[in-house]
Amino acid sequence: MSLRTNLLYTAAFICSIQIGCGTAKKAEEPKAAVENMQCNSPEEFTACMRAGEFDKTYRLFAKQMTNVFSKSQFEAVAKQFIGSAGDYQSYVRTGYAEKNGSKIYDVVEKYAKGTVVTRLSYNAEDQIDGLYFLNENQALPGNIRAESAPKEEANQANPEAAPAGDKAIRDENAPALTDKFKESIVVVSGKDSCALDGYLTIPKNVEKPPVVILVHGSGSSDKDETVGPNKPFKDIAHGLAERGIAVLRYTKRTLAMQTDAGCRPEDLTRLTIREETLDDVKAAVQLMQSEPKVDASRIFVLGHSLGGMLIPAIAHENPSLKGVISVAGPVTSMLKMMIRQGELVMQELGDALPADQREKANKDIADLKAFDEKLANIPDEQVMAGASAYYYKTFDQYIAPALYKELKMPILLLQGANDMQVSVEEFSKYKELLKDHPAMESKLYPETNHLMMPSTNTKSINIQTEYAIPAHVRDEVIEDIAKFILAH
């Protein structure tokens, strides 16, 4: 479980209360068999979690994990993410990789409502120093438990089935090559040993094009900002390249942390938005300033969701940028956003929610409110909704009103009218903060969701279903971004 397992809070909140989310069936192994397990292997660990053996599983955590999560917090998150998939059906495989001294296992299992990937990272002492719940398309390839290879040597015996190191975490999709653009693999690296793999998409037959750097939303994102079958950053990169604009997109640090110890801070409770996002954006800008294939005097940054929220801070720290773009960016603090999302879900569910579930959900919201109100006096290491109190305490400095007032470079604000995560109200507040800006443009797209894809949904409780449907970023959105960039 990363420090910030997932701050797509609405989806997680719905899973914890919505009728039908359920809990995972505990009877896939005989009770006696589970009781006799030590839970040490990755596969036994997931079986023990399903059976509710949290004492056994929690004792396997390294100190850096127990410092962040209590046993009760671990139990609550495990039940939420595994339980939301429905009844357990079968084991599929275990992917494997080694990176910077850590052994990474991805246990892939089928549940009634889909596939769950449990990623476990073991340190040199065979203690678990990372636990993550992932989508199926994020799983490491291969099967270290295949009968054809010894389980401790499977990655060496069959390197194509279970490649180790950097190859194991590379995206399924190779860099694209079309008659209009080509992509090359690049590495974004800052002041530490963390290397974030990325793609630089370059339009063909355009000498020294402008370049835009894409900055992710919250949570752990790959370079395409994949959500289910949807890849908004890939859509934007290819769409802009077809219009003569280069694009840099890269793996977010919070995803790289899962397989690369060099990307993890020594103390996860001291992680801030600077380490999570801002330092890597600066490194990406510096990379493009030295890239001979692009126009270093015309570098733009596009931030989505959390990335859009941070645009004023990004502009402040990178004054050489030619312009910035905020897509579905909020301006309200993260804790207050989560409270609003939870309250909205409760309003939408109304009396359809059984009394016991309503009581639990209301308590969760009340706990968030109390945490927010008492934040200044809460110990830095205490965790709420996947992040430490220290993270929230340091967050607001990066969305301070002064940053909006000093922003002078051209800025484009884009928002979907059917965005159930960042409301149109947030869009209006963003514009109000920039009302005196000399070069601010904005546009609201009807029937468009948080991913800037077509949508007729108007309920927060439906976003998980909506995001499971394959779609693409609207052409109109990509065209408007291109016009803004080419005009400056």
Domain ranges of the chain: 9-169, 181-334+389-486
Q: How confident is the model at residue 143 (pLDDT cuts 50, 70, 90)?
A: confident
Does residue 209 have a pLDDT over 50? yes
For domain 181-334+389-486, which architecture applies?
3-Layer(aba) Sandwich (3.40)
Rounded to 10°, the helix 9-17/355-373 angle is: 140
Model confidence, pTM: 0.74
Q: Is the pLDDT of residue 438 over 80?
A: yes
Q: Minimal CA–CA distance to 61: which of 125, 126, 128, 145?
A: 128
Q: What percent of the chain has pLDDT over 70?
A: 85
Pairwise CA distance, residues 3 & 17, whole Å = 22
Q: Does the structure show a pLDDT above 70 at 259?
A: yes
pLDDT at 160: 34
Q: Read off the pLDDT of each residue in 183-205 and give the average, rounded to a whole number.
A: 89
Q: Tell me, what's the pLDDT at 65?
A: 79
Pick the more confident residue, 452 or 78: 452
Q: In angstroms, how far is the first alpha carbon of the chain from the final one?
A: 43
Phi, psi of 131 (to 5 degrees): -135, 125
Report the alpha-carbon distance of residue 410 to residue 439 in Å, rounded: 5
Mean pLDDT, range 143-170, rounded to an integer: 40
Q: Does 304 or 26 have the greater pLDDT score?
A: 304
Residue 443, pLDDT > 90, answer yes
| pLDDT confidence tier of residue 68, bands split at 50, 70 and 90 | low
- 212: part of which helix (H) or strand (E)? strand 211-215
Query: Can 9-169 and 181-334+389-486 be said to share one CATH topology?
Result: no
Percentage, residues of the chain above pLDDT 90:
42
Round the average pLDDT of the chain to a whole number and report it: 83
Q: Is the pLDDT of residue 67 over 80?
A: no
Q: Which of 278, 377, 373 is nearest to 333 (CA)?
A: 373
Q: How confident is the model at residue 63 (pLDDT cuts 50, 70, 90)?
A: confident
Helix (H) or strand (E) holding 422: none
Q: Average pLDDT in the 378-392 region? A: 86
Region 416-435: mean pLDDT is 95
| Arch. (CATH architecture) of 9-169 | Roll (3.10)
Position with higher pLDDT, 461 vs 11: 461
